[in-house]
Amino acid sequence: MTVTIYDVAREAKVSMATVSRVLNGNPNVKPDTRKKVKDVIERLDYRPNAVARGLASKKTTTVGVIIPDISNLYYSSLARGLDDIAEMYNYQVIITNTDNDPEKERDAFLSLISKQVDGIVFLGGALNDETLDDIKRSHLPVVICGTSEKDENLPSVNIDYHKAIKEASLKFFEEGAAQISFVKASYSEQLEQHIEEGLKAAYKEKGKNFRNELIFSTGEDYQSGKEIFEKLRTVESDVIITMSDETAIGILHAYMDEGFKVPADVQIISCSNTRLVNMSRPSLSSIALPLYDIGAVGMRLLTKYMKDEPIEEANVILPYKIEYRSTTK
Amino acid sequence: MTVTIYDVAREAKVSMATVSRVLNGNPNVKPDTRKKVKDVIERLDYRPNAVARGLASKKTTTVGVIIPDISNLYYSSLARGLDDIAEMYNYQVIITNTDNDPEKERDAFLSLISKQVDGIVFLGGALNDETLDDIKRSHLPVVICGTSEKDENLPSVNIDYHKAIKEASLKFFEEGAAQISFVKASYSEQLEQHIEEGLKAAYKEKGKNFRNELIFSTGEDYQSGKEIFEKLRTVESDVIITMSDETAIGILHAYMDEGFKVPADVQIISCSNTRLVNMSRPSLSSIALPLYDIGAVGMRLLTKYMKDEPIEEANVILPYKIEYRSTTK
DNA sequence: ATGAAAGCGCTAACAG
DNA sequence: CTGTTAGCGCTTTCAT
């Protein structure tokens, strides 16, 4: 029924070992033989069974991706970069959504392990301790992108959040801002911590008084942005930094609906930079993460681990830009 | 090194067949034995190798998804619905982006075949003839979601585009619109054809004169929307129906930038309904596709094919709603 | 340069 | 209810 390597061997009058060799580009095959085999392969429309190959070789050319929510632009932008590089290196990608649920995250990881993936990348989400243990025990190449974890000893790709937020904040202060608020969005705790520290550093450098009440936590979607507004307005900051673009737009709309002028009365900037930034009016300023690149570089890094290539730097820091659009002065 | 079913069998003093039985929930195992085996499995932290299992059973519990671009909200919304149902039925999902490139589409399909996936779903994109041939020859369960193809004999999940567009158009005409334009966005040709027909039917029913110049083609992103504006304005339609939300927002901004009032001077409605609709100001009206559900129902349908369950209806039509928000009167 | 043969880790008859 | 025995389709020594 389905044609196997054995059929090809028989038709080409060689052994299956030889067929396997031409399949895998092994140079130890006489050109004549190679051609003969290739012809038969074409004629029979033979396609190697990747599962059998995986079992025999212990390599599946499949990688797992664990991500909070693929329908969120932030994550899907990361995923797209990753996928393109994966394709370039001939890897297939199994994607699993976790909604940042630790249990789903663990299940996803274990099921990827049992599928014998060659490597796994965590995109964006928080990593809980149990999973961290699983990772360690698995001895599998793992890269984390756009998120950070406690021990920081996993290969990773990020930007320097601390520096980025500090730089942006200093600029706002220098241009007259009296107070800056930060709205977290349940991304990685570790990562949001870095950002908070960056903000505090800016306060300190300017001799301004930082208060914990200036930090808010909400979801990473539009509605969460609208909802946090009532709390936000009480502190009367004149600059608001958010994690997520969607949240920022929710906040923006909430302010405008209440008669505030943006950016005259309040400035808003996100720490993301998805395609949404241009679709909002006024267009959204952001500390622009190279989302696509973070995913792409993460995947490239993973291929190096999977192929035992030398690693120059396990914790890659990518450059960021600060894009001042129309929600800032 | 890694623990196999054989190790478990030895430790539990049973045959590997018995271990396999408890693994697969085969009832023909004495409760005592079952417990004994389960204990050993736990103690050894044994995890079945899905690849070996796949080779032996010819089932991989993996499905392939072929999609134009996961970083586009329209598609990723479909994908999310699909993924949730896949998870529910214990299938893993391999996602491949094609950018609607026929060659990529074909490569993706063939590589999924070689991975021995149990089924494939096409999400949103166009299906070219070559792939259609491959599908036929593969004898693999395939369902297509949010797109349609020439012969219409593949299992599918859609809404009734023709009816939806006709209904919306009639309403616009009845409320005084003189002329309606439609902006395609390189989704499936077949599908856009249906929509065009629906629009023409409305023109006909109202005794209005339809011209081909009222139909436009552009990309499915924001920039494409902005770019098509110059052409659009020449025909002076008072209602514009677009395929994509992003395109609609691009068009909306272009009109507003030129001093038009929306919806007073021109009304805009998309045929999509991603999360973007609320993030635009004015908020975007749309013929609301149940994107998540289309993906979810598609995956459910696929599971039926994969498990040889009876199929009530191979071509599922889901209901739509027309959401009049602020870009329509 | 090529072939023979032993697995990879599991499922699935078939016996008993 | 349990064990034995073939494979599944390929890679990979090891000979030759």
Nucleotide nearest to A33 (CA to C1'): C1
Handedness of CA B65, B67, B72, B74 (dihedral sign): negative
One digit per residue, pLDDT tens: chain A, 329 residues? 789 999 999 999 999 999 999 999 998 899 999 999 999 999 999 999 999 999 999 999 999 999 999 999 999 999 999 999 999 999 999 999 999 999 999 999 999 999 999 999 999 887 888 899 999 989 999 999 988 877 778 999 999 999 999 999 999 999 999 999 999 987 777 888 889 999 999 999 999 999 999 999 999 999 999 999 999 999 999 999 999 999 999 999 999 999 999 999 999 999 999 999 999 999 999 999 999 999 999 999 999 999 999 999 999 999 999 999 999 99
> What pLDDT sits at residue B48?
96
Please give the average per-residue pLDDT across B137-155, as a whole number.
88
Give A279's contacts in chain B (Cβ within 8 Å): 222, 246, 249, 276, 279-280
- Lookup: tokens for B226: 């902005």
* Nearest nt to the A31 alpha carbon by C1': C1
Range A107-127 burial, b when 16+ CB lie within 10 A, else e: ebbebbbebbbbbbbbbbbbb
List strand residue ranges (DSSP E) for A148-219, in order.
Answer: 156-159, 180-184, 215-217
pTM of the model: 0.95
- Nearest CA to A97 out of B92, B179, B244 is that of B92
Q: Which residue of A77, A92, A251, A293 to mutate against B (max B Cβ within 10 Å)?
A: A92
Q: What is the per-residue pLDDT across B52-66, written as a single tens digit (0 to 9) for each?
A: 999 999 999 999 999
Q: What are A322's two structure tokens?
A: 């600060």
Name the residues in B7-36 having a C-beta closer than 7 Å to nucleic acid strand D: 13-18, 21, 27-30, 32-34
Specify the amino acid at residue B114. Answer: S
What does strand C contact on the protein, if contact means CB under 7 A? Answer: A 13-18, 21, 27-30, 32-34, 52, 55-56, 58; B 2, 4-6, 16-17, 20, 23-24, 46, 48-49, 52-53, 55-57
* CA nearest neighbour of B214 among B182, B186, B171: B182
Q: How far is CA A229 from the centre of its chain?
A: 28
Cβ distance A51 to B49 less than 8 Å, yes or no, reads: no
